[in-house]
Amino acid sequence: MIQSKGYAARDPKSSLTPISFERRDAGPGDVVVEIAYCGICHSDIHQVRDEWGGSIYPMVPGHEIVGKVTAVGSDVTKFKVGDLAGVGVTVRTCMQCENCKAGAEPYCLKGMVGTYNAKDYDGAVTYGGYSNNIVAPEHYVYSISPKLELAAVAPLLCAGITTWSPLRHWGVGPGKKVGIVGLGGLGHMGLKFAHSLGAETALFTTSPGKEEDARRLGADEVVLSKDKDAMARNKGKFDFILDCVSAPHDLNEYLSLLRLDGTLCQVGLPDEPLPVSAFSLVTNRRSLSGSMIGGMRETQEMLDYCAEKNIVSDIEMTTVDKLDEAYERVVKGDVKYRFVIDMGSLG
C-alpha cells in the first residue's frame, strides 16, 4: 500500500483535520501522482457538509488535482515518471456502456466513480486531492502543459471542464448570445471560455462589486440580477444561458431571457429543487437542461485549448490550515475566483 496524508472531514459540522491513510499500490494500468496543488470546488463544501445527502466520512475532498507523476504501472503508455499530470472528478467508469463508448463517461450507465466520497467498483472508498498523492487509472489522468502556471491549471479539472463541455455541446461561438449566471469558480471559467469561443457574453451576478472583474474576464455586458428593469430589458435575447449558481434561486427569471429555441443549462447544484413554471418553457419553445463535468477526451481537449490560448483560472492560493476561512469565503461568494491549496503546506 501507498502511505498518504491529507485533510479530512469527520462529520458535516466540524473543521477538516489531518488524516493518515493508505491508497492501493499502482496496478498495471495505474498512474501515481504526487499532488502539488488542489482547487477548492463548491462541490467539496456541499459534500463535506452533507448538503446532497449520503456523504461518507472520513472524507478527503478535492477533485481539481495537479502534480507530478511518481510511478506508472507496466501497461501505462501516456505517462512517465516526472511528467506533469492532472486528475479531475472521475476515477473510474465501466468503459463498456454506450455512454462510455461515446466519450460521455460522467454518464456511465454502471455509474461513474467520483474521485472522493464514492465507492470504487471493488467497494473501496475513494479519497481526493486534499492530500499528498493519488492513484488513478491512466484513462482518468490528464497531460498538463508546462507552458501554463501549474497551480492555476488545477481548477480547469472541474470548473474548467464543467463549463467547457456544455458550451461546446450547445455550439456556443460567433453569432450566439450567451449568459453566464454567477461569478464564482465555474462562472469565471464560463466567461473566459464563452468569450474565447467568440460568443457575445453577458454575466448575471448578485454582486455589484464583481462588474469590473467580469469585464476583464470576458463579459461584454454585466447585469445585476436584482435589478428588475435590467432583467426586463434582456427578456428574449439569449441563445444559451449557463447557470453556475450554488444556492436556490428563481430559474424562471433566467428562462425568460431566452429567445426562440434557447436553452438554459443548469450546472450549479443547489441542495433544493428549483421550481419551474410551464409557461417559462412553452414561451419561445425553450429548453431546460443540465450537464455534468465532461468526458475524458473533451477534458484533454479543453486542457490543450487552454495551453494554446493561454487560459488558466484566476486563483487565490491558500494552505491546509486555512480551509475554514476559505470555505466561509466561497459560501459568501467572496473568492477571486478559485481557491487553490498549496499541498506543500501539508508538511
Residue entry with cell 461569478: 183
- Out of Zn ion, ligand NAP, none, what residue 110 binds, judged by CB under 5 to 8 A for its kind, is none
Print the binding letters for residues 23-52 with Zn ion: x by CB under 5 A, - otherwise: ------------------x-x---------
Closer residue to ligand NAP, CB minimum distance, 295 or 333: 333
- Among residues 183, 301, 318, 175, which one has the least CA distance to residue 242? 183
Residue entry with cell 485533510: 7
Neighbours of 292 (CB within 10 A): 16
Catalogue the E-assigned strands of the chain: 2-8, 17-23, 30-39, 65-72, 84-87, 90-92, 113-114, 133-137, 141-143, 177-181, 200-205, 221-224, 238-243, 258-266, 287-290, 315-318, 338-342
Residues 161, 163, 166, 171, CA torsion sign: negative
Closer residue to ligand NAP, CB minimum distance, 6 or 294: 294
Q: Is 246 in the site for Zn ion (CB under 5 A)?
A: no
Number of residues that bind Zn ion (CB under 5 A): 3
Print the binding letters for residues 258-287 with Zn ion: x by CB under 5 A, - otherwise: ------------------------------
By CB under 5 A, name the one of 33, 135, 158, 311 that touches Zn ion.
Answer: 158
Residues 81, 83, 86, 91, CA torsion sign: negative
Closer residue to ligand NAP, CB minimum distance, 102 or 247: 247
Neighbours of 29 (CB within 10 A): 15
Which 3 state secondary structure label does DSSP give 222? strand
- Out of ligand NAP, Zn ion, none, what residue 184 binds, judged by CB under 5 to 8 A for its kind, is ligand NAP
- Do the strands 133-137 and 113-114 form a parallel or antiparallel pair, or are they unpaired? unpaired
Residue with the shortest CB distance to ligand NAP = 184
Closer residue to ligand NAP, CB minimum distance, 115 or 133: 115
Contact in structure between 240 and 291 (CB atoms under 8 Å): no
Closer residue to ligand NAP, CB minimum distance, 211 or 342: 211
- Out of Zn ion, ligand NAP, none, what residue 201 binds, judged by CB under 5 to 8 A for its kind, is none
The DSSP annotation for 306-343 comes to HHHHT----EEEE-GGGHHHHHHHHHTT--SSEEEEEG
The residues in 4-23 that bind Zn ion, with binding defined as CB under 5 A, are none
- Site for ligand NAP, rule CB under 6 A: 41-43, 46, 158-159, 162, 182-187, 205-207, 210, 244-247, 249, 267-269, 291-293, 330, 333, 335
Least distance to Zn ion from the beta carbon of 159, Å? Answer: 7
- Out of ligand NAP, Zn ion, none, what residue 247 binds, judged by CB under 5 to 8 A for its kind, is ligand NAP
Closer residue to ligand NAP, CB minimum distance, 76 or 296: 296
Closer residue to ligand NAP, CB minimum distance, 10 or 249: 249
Closer residue to Zn ion, CB minimum distance, 43 or 291: 43
Least distance to ligand NAP from the beta carbon of 77, Å? Answer: 29
Interacting residue ranges for Zn ion, rule: CB under 5 A: 41, 43, 158
